[in-house]
């Protein structure tokens, strides 16, 4: 009787292990690719780096705000 229970238990464990090995692992979803990097420029007044399309350009120089552009012009 005890021997039969042991064999049934062993077979159950083997069946569980086999089932786990046969089950396919879930696929890991790929993260969406990051947005393309934009060209960055440096504000001549404060040194802040910002995307070129968000900057203010004056005479080939870039600024982060109108205030900084005006400060730079006043200092010249």
Q: How many CB atoms lie within 10 A of CB 43?
A: 19
Cα–Cα distance for residue pair 9/68, rounded to 1 Å: 78
Structure-model confidence comparison of residues 75 and 43, the more confident one: 43
pLDDT in tens, 8-51: 999 999 999 988 888 787 787 888 878 888 899 999 999 999 99
Q: How many CB atoms lie within 10 A of CB 42?
A: 15
* Structural domain spans, the chain: 38-76
Taking the whole predicted model, whether its pTM rises above 0.75 is answered as no
Does the pLDDT of residue 2 top 90, yes or no? Answer: no
């Amino acid at each position: 009787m005890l021997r039969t229970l042991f064999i049934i238990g062993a077979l159950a464990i083997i069946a569980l292990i086999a089932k786990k090995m046969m089950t396919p692992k879930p696929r890991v979803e790929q993260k969406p690719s990051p947005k393309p990097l934009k060209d960055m420029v440096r504000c001549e007044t404060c040194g802040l780096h910002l995307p070129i399309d968000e900057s203010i350009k004056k005479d080939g120089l870039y600024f982060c705000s109108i205030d900084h552009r005006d400060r730079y012009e006043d200092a010249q």
